[in-house]
Structure 1
């Protein structure tokens, strides 16, 4: 218990100290975070590109290697969740609210201001769809997959705690991992999780508020945002306390249902043929230029666009890896490595492609004037575009409900993971710790949102998460080491 409390207490102190810094000296905090982030993006953009591509290559290789049939658990173990529930939970935790937030805003930004071509043209439209597919495709899910796979193997096959530090046992040995090195890794993972999720909760609150304002005239102010955070906090705490099998599973399934309704409605009222053509062409461009885009950084040109978009996204996905990777590992017991990689990479990637094809094409179809108007405010971009279509009001209402349910599932799965991380990897953390982390997340989001500091927290969390790129590289090495060792032992037993 003492070890549990050490990580728990130190983590809370670190998080609160950083929040106090952000609130007491926002200018200093912001300049420090921006300086660090700009340094990392400016000098290590190539490292982010190479790392993220290596995660894709590793995931594909290991799925089709001799280790693909190995189960994440005992040989006779079976998956805890159906394919639909499993996909719904990992998708809700891994993307969720970001798809609603950026599903229209990102393609329109690329359409209006594309790289190396005139905005508002057919070429710009194709570029917008391709880049949206690229940023939300295989790379982020491979990034989650690498960490989740190593963690799930150590948890369910080797019986180790569900902690990021457990991944390093084959490399460093169990005693070193139990010491200061392991605890430092776990505390950093907790900070990255709290900061990343608090930022998303704040952005989600702003978009819900802007949607209610756009549709119903409800004012955009601190009082309304406090009410939104309070209501959603109560909902996600109920869900988190209910556990995986009830609250989180139920809401994740509801998310998929609502998202499907939203897609179908938009397909019906939007430019259906254009959407289908855009999806087809987008997948072709994505696959055809996958290698080039994976390493494209404008070495002899102005790399600023890549810093703001691709590198920023890669850093942001890495920042989310400790949380999403831990959650995906927790719900993946009993699946083979090949099944795991196929499910984590392909299903969410295809869903993201469909999402951006439907909403991106519908937005671009309205022309550059509407696009320019919509991207003036990212939180309201979705509602501005939908207001131009029949049934736009109904679609916007469904979108606000979906934002709320995605909001809840992101927060409750993060609360669950934080409880695990601060309880020595306990797969069923106590309600007390889940409640404490839930309250801290919401207060952090609210405090920084009201202080105008969500952006600086996002920048700080991405900068602080830079070491996790190395964690994931070593996770690949560690997983191969332990698989080779276990495979040799299995072969010896069979020979005997």
Structure 2
């Protein structure tokens, strides 16, 4: 394979070793990673809270300050993709399977089984369940994605640097980023990408298997999951071969159409008036209590610290661990936009869409639960399907849901092969198809191994651990970006004189 960098070979070797250790010693691997995750969340929870709210503040500052008029590219460049296609692509890469997987179950669990503050099942717990779901899927996470993506896009399209994480740190470290330190940073980003995506693919396969079992009685097990992954791998490799402008764009648009169909259907057959009222009230609660939730560390014994570590701190680390993959992909499809357009599109639009989606599915699930049907008794990957059973057109909704998971799966895997190709070919905007195929097969193989040994939990914990060192890299990226943007404004002002 031509043009691959040393990052390719180093990361491939680390992945092989990690998978072998997980397969040969699953119990020990899970115990070690669980202990490491517990230590990090208990000791550095306050740190995660500070950096995430800091990223939100910096994102708004950059987007609505004079920096906002700087274009991600030359001054005469315009966006490569239409705004609807652009939003569809960043949305599919940034959330994808997570929206369908957690759409009903997270608000349901927060309301009736694992409430953050109030008595489970109370009216206040139901409100808090939706508010904290918005919080976990809202501005904090998208600010993280946005800053990483903005750094990559600015240095790549405005300054002509390679599309690598290490390239964004040159204003701080200069040519040191061309040496071992830069390679180490790119290896960490690549490693986090492939395991983060593989873990999510494992979730997607589990939900597809659960849905097919629920609808058609197909057996739930590794054999079925092997067949599902094999078929999907062929499909996303065909998409990856066709390139960014065709495969991923068409799939992302398909995702949005299916998601809108499913959303509108549930909105109208579900408790429509209750959904509209709940969205209005709980989104207001989210905005009103935004700062209080952002700084909540639950330091006292009666503050439900366990919930905070299991949900909020877990989510902040999870967003950080996915930032190199999603940030690099968003950067690639955002060429030609101004920073202000970029920050509004990446932060505000997805936050509102997520809130509407979770209100619709969460309120419907809560309504079914209150009618006397206990949805919390089911495994989280099939809660959606049991909720559909109590609505009109249940079979159609389940079928659309499975198809949506499938297309999100293909889009995420396709996007990941593209990003992994960029990361391991010295930042090439059009990595060779052979490189993309290697990474596509690798991430499917990792997902299969994890499903076989039951190691999804261990690898999730590994990603959380990887997020801790990468968070320092993001802080450096932000400092480097602010320095570079300040210099860019000075150059623009000189050019006008």
For normalisation by structure 2, the TM-score amounts to 0.97
CA distance in 1, matches of 2:106, 2:184: 36
CA spacing shift, 1:225–1:370, aligned 2, 3 Å: farther
Find the counterpart in structure 2 of residue 167 from structure 1.
168
Gaps of 5+ in 2: none
Separation in 2 of the partners of 1:71 and 1:48? 31
Which stretch has the larger CA shift, 318-327 or 121-130? Answer: 121-130
Structure 1 residues 368 and 119, CA gap change in structure 2 (3 angstroms)? farther
Q: CA deviation at 1:68?
A: 0.6
After superposition, the Cα gap between the structure-2 partners of 1:425 and 1:3, relative to the gap in structure 1 and judged at 3 Å, is same
Tell me which residue corresponds to 1:40: 40
Q: Provide, for residues 181-222 of structure 1, a one-character-per-residue CA deviation record: whole Å limited to 9, x for no partner.
A: 100000000110000000000110000000010111111022
Indicate yes or no: 2:309 matched with 1:339.
no
Name structure 1 gaps, 5 residues minimum: none
Distance of aligned partners of 1:117 and 1:155 in 2 relative to their CA distance in 1, 3 Å threshold: same
Mapped partners of 2:78, 2:480: distance in 1: 25
Q: Structure 1's 361 and 78: CA in aligned 2 closer, same or farther, altered over 3 A?
A: same
Aligned counterpart, 1:314: 316
The CA distance in 2 between the partners of 1:170 and 1:431, in whole Å, is 32
Task: Identify which range, 363-372 or 146-155, moves more after superposition.
Answer: 363-372
Q: 1:32 and 1:184 mapped to 2: Cα distance?
A: 23
Contact 1:237-1:412 at 8 Å conserved across structures: yes
- Which residue in 2 is equivalent to 1:359? 361
Aligned length: 494
- Number of the residue aligned with 1:395: 397
* 1:416 matched residue in structure 2: 418
Preserved contact between residue 73 and residue 334 of structure 1 (Cα < 8 Å): yes
Alpha-carbon distance, 1:2 to partner: 8.8
Name the structure 1 match of 2:220. Answer: 220
- In 1, the alpha carbon distance for the partners of 2:170 and 2:129 equals 43
Q: TM-score, normalised by structure 1?
A: 0.98
- Equivalent residue for 2:129? 128
* C-alpha displacement of 1:166: 0.8
1:42-72 CA deviation, whole Å, 9 max, x = no partner? Answer: 0000111111111110110111111110000
Q: Structure 1 pair 14/3, CA: closer, same or farther in 2 (3 Å)?
A: farther
1:374 touches 1:380 (CA, 8 Å); kept in 2? no
What is the distance in 1 between the residues matched to 2:84 and 2:457? 34
Paired residues for 1:90-489 under 5 Å? 90-112=90-112, 113-173=114-174, 175-301=175-301, 302-368=304-370, 372-489=374-491
Q: Deviation at 1:34?
A: 1.0
Q: 1:203 to 1:182 in 2, by over 3 A?
A: same
Is the Cα–Cα contact under 8 Å of residues 369 and 375 in structure 2 kept in the other structure? Answer: no
Comparing 48-57 with 25-34, which one deviates more in the overlay? 25-34
